[in-house]
Structure 1
Amino acid sequence: MTVALAPFGPHFGFGIYIHWPYCSRICPYCDFNVYAAKDRDTDPLVAAIEKDIGLHRARLPEHGALDTVYFGGGTPSLLQPAEIARLLEAARTSFGLKPDAEVTLEANPNDILTADLRGLAAAGVNRLSIGVQSLRDNALAFLGRDHDAIAARAAVERAIKVFPNISVDLIYARPSQSPDEWADELADVLALGAPHLSLYELTIEQRTAFGKSVERGDLIPMDPDAQADLYELTQSIADSAGLPAYEISNHAMSAAYRSRHNSIYWNGGDWIGVGPGAHGRLTVAGRRYASEAQRQPAAYIANVQALGSGWGEASALYPLDVARELLAMGLRVAEGIDLGRIEALSGKPVPRDKIAVFEEENWARLDGTRLWLTPRGRLLADALTAELAP
């Protein structure tokens, strides 16, 4: 007898997200759980994360080897190769790493220029995600970055010699940025030869320094219509250069260079979140759980030591909440999502009459039960998802 697979869970991918919260400089647009690095003894936090990984084994007896490990932050490139190797060994000992497991390290350009890249590779890292953010000095100053354009180029050129699988992050739709300026900058980035680009529109969150500047009237965000024009320009240029979008903000030279870890998020897989403020999604006995670790590093360390978990909270999700999350994430990717997964969770059909309207407007396509958004539809992804949500 064939057992039907659940519409979510580790069969859609299984990974670990490790959050390193320290940064040498906190950027004015950043809304992540980050703290100034200063002169800190990092060993207590490394030890706590190491222990937290091991503690998850007992909670997840049915989970097999890991597909991915992702070091994010913060600035995890501040970690030494030996510290990274130590955390990867904890993952390997607790769960096992698949032979082709993707291990990503987020890195700042200045760290790349001084890092022991071969030491990172020997520790187990096989993919770098480099926070270039711009190749224009005035933009880098505006974004509060601690590198210049020369350093950014040099970092990518140095990294790609050791890590063929690299990603470059950029932020566009900055105030007053013109289409011509962005087209020139994107062309310069493409010329660096990175096989993966993450191209994000500047989002201004209320709690950030930029958010406070907007409240004061000191900063005026780009008009949404102008942002949409830049998004369409981005798709056209990247497509022509052989890096089509496989997700709203992510472009890859081929399927081999797509972010396998982020694909776990988009496809409804499971991931363990360890480190201060890390989020996770885990399947236990057929139920989906959302976890969030304690945000303050000291509180996280104390929780691991005293309670046997870094979690601040872990709660079971209602099937309807899971269905809405799967739909929102699944419509971000070019392949879309099988609506059967949504309907199995919600117990009711996704409205085909609304989808028919989306098809007429060239916003979406439906083939059997698989729905995906067109490039034009991705501009309206949030609104279209809200229309279809159970």
Structure 2
Amino acid sequence: MPSALPDGEPAPTSGELPAAALARLGSAPFGVYVHVPFCTVRCGYCDFNTYTLTELGDGSVPGASLGTYASAALCELDLARRVLGDGVPEVETVFVGGGTPTLLPPGDLVAVLRGIQDRFGLSPTAEVTTEANPDSVSAASLAELAAGGFTRVSLGMQSAVPHVLRTLDRTHDPANVARAVGWARTAGLGVSLDLIYGTPGESLDDWRRSLDTAVALEPDHVSAYALVVEEGTRLAAQVRRGDVPAPEDDDEADKYELADDVLTAAGYGWYEVSNWARSPEYRCRHNEGYWAGGDWWGVGPGAHSHVGGVRWWNVKHPAAYASRLAAGDSPAAARELLTDEQRHDEWVLLGARLAGGIPVTGLQPSGRTAVAGLVADGLVDGPSAVRDRQVRLTRRGRLLADTVVRRLLG
């Protein structure tokens, strides 16, 4: 089942933001995230805010079906335009995630993108990405998305090994990935592949096969994430019953190092702990906006937003989301006004994971004191810390990034 929303203070039904937050608009790139919560099957490891079509009933509730989702999303974009006013900058990045966004007709995804452009303006160099499952696209659908303004597709490959995909409850044929990549290339779209390692029963050879298969497809970008067993998921229940073994830290560390070796040898450079790109121009600019503390409006059930130090999140269920918008209200469930301390902590948490690192001078005194010990432990690059006054992770530091962050935060 989807994870619970965080706690927070009540969000105004009007969606209005403090004047101080609006005054900061334009000081950082502005993006839009669109959450499409529909899936054909709920994967056993997933705790994202997603719903199968059968879970949502007969589709008669506006906004809670494939056919009515786009109109609800456009209503939220109207709200966003009213709230943000004339000070909002052009949109630099759009990311459509889920769920499986490409279960929607491509015309609906293009309509939402046009809605963003009409209300805010879209930078001529905007990065516009949609996630997709390999079995939810066709040559025609990808061509329609490209013609409608999408520039990039992120395909959920996860693995090239059938038994690993079965354990993850992924339903696509591995051969569909190569077909989808070919169709995307023909349409002129950039391509990113998402991989998962550490699945119960996945051997190191299985993982190497997935990496080699991905590299052979020559994507622009690769994301590789360690499997996390989230409470409330079917996989967590299987682990608890002993049906499948829990992922092991040492195994996942070996697989991360193998990923870095294979991807580096193929010409991909890491720029965030779990992300590699063929060159800097192919980095995911939308995610870089998150990591740099930028501003974005999240559209859709359960979507999170951040503007000027205010973070808020929408109600989770598609029916509740659409109902609030139909009543003229904000779909926000709650919000928080970030303190200076929270903003600093997030800057360390996210910035330390980037290849460029963070400046030592930006740390609190306890964090600056911790740098020498992190260098001695081989977690932070010594020359970068001494010469450049930057905290940059070594590969061992990437494996223990959470430990590094805790020590930098004292």
User: Does the TM-score normalized on the shorter chain lie above 0.5?
Assistant: yes
Query: Following TM superposition, where does structure 1 have runs of at least 4 consecutive aligned residues deviating by more than 6 angstroms?
Result: none
Contact in 1 for aligned 2:198/2:248 (Cα 8 Å): no
Contact 1:336–1:371, Cα closer than 8 Å, also in 2: yes
Question: Distance in 2 between the 1:270 and 1:369 partners?
Answer: 27
Is the CA contact (8 Å cut-off) linking 2:161 and 2:209 kept in structure 1?
no
Is 2:122 aligned against 1:119? Answer: no
* Distance of 2:89 and 2:177 partners within structure 1: 38
Q: Which residue of 2 aligns with 1:328?
A: 349
Judged with a 3 Å threshold, the aligned counterparts in structure 2 of structure 1 residues 362 and 10 are, in CA distance, closer, same or farther, namely: farther
Paired residues for 1:115-194 under 5 Å: 115-194=140-219
The one-letter amino acid of 2:336's match is S
Residue 181 of structure 1 and its aligned partner are, at CA, apart by 2.7
Q: Normalising to structure 2: TM-score of the pair?
A: 0.87
Whether contact under 8 Å (1:16, 1:273) holds in the other structure is yes
Mapped contact 1:248–1:332 kept (Cα < 8 A): yes
* Partner of residue 71 from structure 2, selected from 40, 47, 53: 47
Contact 1:76 1:106 in 2 (8 A): yes
1:34 and 2:50 are equivalent in the alignment: yes
Partner residue, 1:4 = none
CA contact (8 A) 2:43 2:169 kept: yes
Q: Is the partner of 1:205 in helix, strand or coil?
A: coil
Name whichever of 172-181 and 202-211 sits farther off: 172-181
Q: Residue 311 of structure 2 corresponds to which residue in structure 1?
A: 290
CA displacement at 1:264 relative to structure 2: 0.7
Structure 1 SS opposite 2:157: strand
Q: 5+ unaligned residues in a row in structure 1: which ranges?
A: 1-7
Q: Which amino acid aligns with 2:316?
A: R
Q: In the aligned structure 1, how far is the partner of 2:169 from the partner of 2:228?
A: 15
Deviation string, structure 1 residues 26-59 (Cα, Å, up to 9, x no partner): 1001110000124634343321211111211232
Match of residue 223 from structure 1: 248
Tell me the distance in 2 between the aligned counterparts of 1:110 and 1:296.
25
Verify: 1:210 aligned to 2:235, yes or no: yes
Kindly state the Cα deviation for residue 81 of structure 1 after the two structures are TM-superposed.
2.2
> Which residue of structure 1 lines up, in the alignment, with residue 391 of structure 2?
371
CA contact (8 A) 1:128 1:163 kept: no
State the match for 1:75 in structure 2: 100
Q: C-alpha offsets along residues 87-122 of structure 1, whole Å, 9 cap, x if unaligned?
A: 112211221110010110100111123652211111
Q: Give the aligned residue type for 2:248.
A: D
- In percent, how many aligned pairs have the same letter? 37
Cα offset, 1:151, TM superposition: 1.8
> Which of 369, 373, 377 matches 1:353?
369
Counterparts of 2:72 and 2:66 in 1: how far apart (Å)?
Answer: 10
Corresponding pairs, count = 375
Provide closer, same or farther for how the CA distance between residues 56 and 111 of structure 1 changes in structure 2, counting only shifts above 3 A.
same
The residue identity in structure 2 corresponding to 1:363 is L
> What one-letter code is carried by the residue in structure 1 that aligns with 2:214?
V
Moved more, 68-77 or 370-379: 370-379
Alignment correspondent of 2:327:
306
Which letter maps to 2:97? G
Root mean square deviation of aligned Cα:
2.0
Cα deviation, residue 77, structure 1: 0.6
Alpha-carbon contact 1:274-1:310 (below 8 Å) kept: no
SS at match of 1:27: coil
